[in-house]
Structure 1
Amino acid sequence: MDANKEPPVVHPAVAALSFLLGTWRGQGEGGYPTINSFSYAEELHFSHSPNKPVIGYTQKTWKLGSGEPMHAESGYWRPKLDGTIEVVIAQSTGLVEVQKGTYSTEQKVIQLQSEMVGNASKVKEIRRCFRMVDGTLCYDVEMATNTITLQPHLKAALKKL
């Protein structure tokens, strides 16, 4: 690396969430009234292009033991300086989420709620909450369908690699 080269600049809107940047790995549990409970391994990756007000997001899960792929999604997180955030996520199932929410720099909590769930015949609403707990990135996902009100669906705890 050139000793005279300046380090990449984190956009001011991204700075408050820069603790997310990097790769996280851990395990989670899922369930819903219409499916059997399950456990999974997971990896999240948050990236940032210098000077851009956006965080790239990718996620993948696999079965514990066999390593067989289960789910994947990717998208973009656009934090704003006023503590609000806009998120778009495309899932490997074809479902698309447009979410809005808030984040707290002090508490390191991000709350997201779907504004729109596209290409989903049954899913009507998704809520996600990410929070840092003693260096561990934890999240909960709740989901509602056209016949079931908002219910817990997924939860995981991930460590930074």
Structure 2
Amino acid sequence: MIEIPSDLHRDVVPLAFLLGTWEGAGVHDFPGSEKCNFGQEIVFRHDGRPFLEFRSRTWVLDEQGEKVRALETEHAFWRVTSNQHGTSGEREIEVSSVRDDGTVEIWYGKLHDGKPQIDLATDAVARIEGAAPYSGGKRLYGLVKDELLWVGEKAAPEVPLRPYMSAQLKKVLNPAQLISDINDLPDDGIAFFR
């Protein structure tokens, strides 16, 4: 069940399925960089304005699944725009993001009608001199059986567009909501066990 917060700006209600903290693991593999398994935390939050704030942190995992070191951090803002250029039933998405390696990206894409799936592609990429070569990418996000799945494709001047990262994430339960749910049980939940 997708809950829509009462203070969520109406423009981003179609993105409500993304709200919350998501954690899981994935695979990273791109020529010229380390092939590894990684852990990830993604947070989608809102403050009442017409966008969602996105924060992603990833870290390299060892064979036992323990954190070894940071891999990549990204901060972005997701907006739903008008449907004037999309096909009927699809909403357009704009994302502006910055990554810790000095890369700034503008993404455009669509939210599919009737299913929680978002396709994005870069429209513009800028990077500082020390950032790894990168010329564009695509991403697909989808909610499947209450899990957030995503795959990223990347291109560089010497490497054609190809998948390079993907992950499977589960929503992290909010302890404050759990306490609220317990308080709603009769006799503070004790009656359930009698």
Q: How many Å separate the matches in 2 of 1:71 and 1:121?
A: 12
Give the alignment's TM-score, normalised by structure 1. Answer: 0.89
The farther-off stretch of 118-127 and 128-137 is: 118-127
Kindly name which structure, 1 or 2, has the bigger radius of gyration based on alpha carbons: 2
Structure 1: give runs of 5+ residues left out of the alignment: 1-6
- SS of the residue corresponding to residue 13 of structure 1 reads helix
Give the alignment's TM-score, normalised by structure 2. Answer: 0.75
Deviations 1:11-69 (A, max 9, x none): 1221111011110000010102333421010000001112x210001000112213422
The answer to which structure, 1 or 2, has the higher relative contact order (CA under 8 A, 6+ apart) is: 1
**Corresponding position of 1:134:** 145
Q: Does 1:124 align with 2:121?
A: no
**Corresponding position of 2:76:** 75
**Corresponding position of 2:31:** 33
- SS of the residue corresponding to residue 18 of structure 1 reads helix
Cα RMSD after superposing both structures: 1.5
Q: How many Å separate the matches in 1 of 2:13 and 2:68?
A: 34
Greater share of helix: 2
**Corresponding position of 1:104:** 112
Q: How many Å separate the matches in 1 of 2:45 and 2:20?
A: 6
Q: Does 1:63 align with 2:60?
A: yes
TM-superposed CA distance for 1:115, in Å, is: 0.5
Q: How many Å separate the matches in 1 of 2:20 and 2:82?
A: 21
Of 163, 166, 186, which aligns to 1:155? 166
TM-superposed CA distance for 1:8, in Å, is: 4.1
The farther-off stretch of 26-35 and 15-24 is: 26-35
Code of the residue aligned with 1:33 in structure 2: it is P
TM-superposed CA distance for 1:104, in Å, is: 1.7
Structure 2: give runs of 5+ residues left out of the alignment: 84-90, 173-194
Q: How many Å separate the matches in 2 of 1:141 and 1:19?
A: 20
